[in-house]
Amino acid sequence: MKLLADECVAGSTVAAMRAAGFDVEWIAEALPGAADADVLARAFGAGRLLLTEDKDFGELTIRFGHAFHGVVLVALAGLPAAARAARTVAALQALGDRGAGQFVVIEQHRIRRRALSSPGKPERPR
């Protein structure tokens, strides 16, 4: 799985993902201080899922229709860093290759996924 970790993702989480075999580019190393729209565009252009703790990416993708390959929101703010890293790795392993075209939320006890009909375009209710 190819991921682009947002700058807000802890270095310990990035290290744990890399140790687990994930191909992770980290904005803190590659493009520190980049605007959210630029981070999203970089992930899309590279065909990487964006891993973030920033809820603003939901608004950029779902509400404003920015193109994306997939977004994974880590909603584990109350956990210690080591537990957050372990839960993120386990959730990504469980997700496998099913993150493309989806907005995924990793929570402590579940993973929520919202499939989108095409990158950046919410599925229309029928």
Return the domain boundaries, the chain. Answer: 2-115
Within 10 angstroms of residue 71's Cβ, the number of other Cβ atoms is: 26
Report the predicted TM-score, pTM, of the whole model to 2 decimal places.
0.87
Q: Mean pLDDT in runs of 10 for the chain (126 residues)?
A: 96 98 97 94 94 88 81 94 97 92 94 74 40
DSSP state letters, 60-79? IIIIT----S-EEEE--TTS
Predicted pLDDT of residue 37: 92
Residue written as token pair 């997939």: 70
Residue 103: the pLDDT is 92
Per-residue pLDDT at 60: 82
In 3D, which of 13, 25, 33 has the Cα closest to residue 92?
A: 13
Q: Looking at residue 122, what is its pLDDT?
A: 42
pLDDT at 116: 75
